[in-house]
Chain A
């Protein structure tokens, strides 16, 4: 579909409010300041997505939540492994090293964080559009970022040549970096924008 400038602006605003809610939730959860960048809205060929995530084989913790309802989509949070470890340590109030690759406890903590972040984002999206949206149970992969993202793009077995998503950088003190992407499924965008009268 053709996306107009007004629609892009509306999406950026959704992203702004949604990510703001998510950043506040993370900040409350971890008791530290989390900042977020003004979201970018991208409608680009998926081959170019790699340019936005850096080296494709860098290990990152990826929390993937499917958004269900009448305007479905996909929400993805990803953190470099070092940042994810700091987040889990802050959550448990410890400085002990964590094995995010194998240990079930930090893994379920990350899933739960993903759940909270996505739910906060969806509250904003629903307020805006009036369309009720529910998060699925979160899934987690701690692995090469490229491998996790290709699996998310291909999950439904189809792939548009252009992917549209809202992209926000999160940063916190100390040394937390993360990125959030929201990908509306085909058709959802029209419904969301339509509900907003655009």
Chain B
């Protein structure tokens, strides 16, 4: 029997096969999914903003640059090996646009770039992504197979 473990906003969780990690209703946030295919363990972080720099305190799981380190620490604690870790990510949408006003910050896009950089810094290959667009995503990550299942309301479903 596999359990579905829910990851909230600005939260991260780890799991062992056959458990599934879930985060529901990702907009401009990103779900970072990491797993060790040999040990069949992994984790998911639901980050909201690119970087913690400049902000005072707060929840480190909120930011790409601080959440990844925390998530990795927990995955290593489960015995995973850096050289085997693989990553996937989804989210980073631009949900709203105001006519005549270009979005100044494009948080979704910046989130995706920040995650990519952080993964590179930690030497973890990013296998595939499903980011951008203007629609929400609910994602399920199987830490055993590394399959990331993405559901949307109007853009169908896919597995990456």
The B contact surface, by secondary structure, is loop
Contacts known (A57-B25, A137-B99, A161-B59); A147 close to B49, Cβ less than 8 A? no
Contacts known (A57-B138, A146-B136, A159-B49); A137 close to B98, Cβ less than 8 A? yes
A47 CA / B8 CA spacing, docked (Å): 7
Contact with A along B76-105 (1 / 0, CB 8 A): 000000000000000001111111100001
Q: Is the interface on chain A under 10, 10 to 19, 20 to 34, or 35 or more residues?
A: 20 to 34
Q: Which residue of A lies closest to B50 (CB)?
A: A157
Cβ of A134 within 8 Å of any chain B Cβ, yes or no, is no
A139 CA / B103 CA spacing, docked (Å): 12
Cβ of A64 within 8 Å of any chain B Cβ, yes or no, is yes
Decide if B28 touches A154 in the complex (CB within 8 Å).
Answer: yes
Q: Is the interface on chain B under 10, 10 to 19, 20 to 34, or 35 or more residues?
A: 35 or more
For residue A155, which residues in chain B have a CB less than 8 angstroms away from its CB?
96, 105, 107
Q: Which residue of A lies closest to B135 (CB)?
A: A143
Cβ of B62 within 8 Å of any chain A Cβ, yes or no, is yes
Cβ of B146 within 8 Å of any chain A Cβ, yes or no, is no
Within the complex, the shortest CB–CB distance from A99 to chain B, in Å, comes to 10
Given contacts A146-B26, A154-B28, A156-B105, 19 further A-B contacts (CB under 8 A): A46-B10, A47-B8, A47-B10, A56-B25, A57-B151, A57-B153, A64-B96, A102-B154, A137-B99, A139-B97, A140-B96, A143-B135, A144-B25, A148-B95, A149-B25, A151-B94, A152-B96, A155-B105, A159-B48
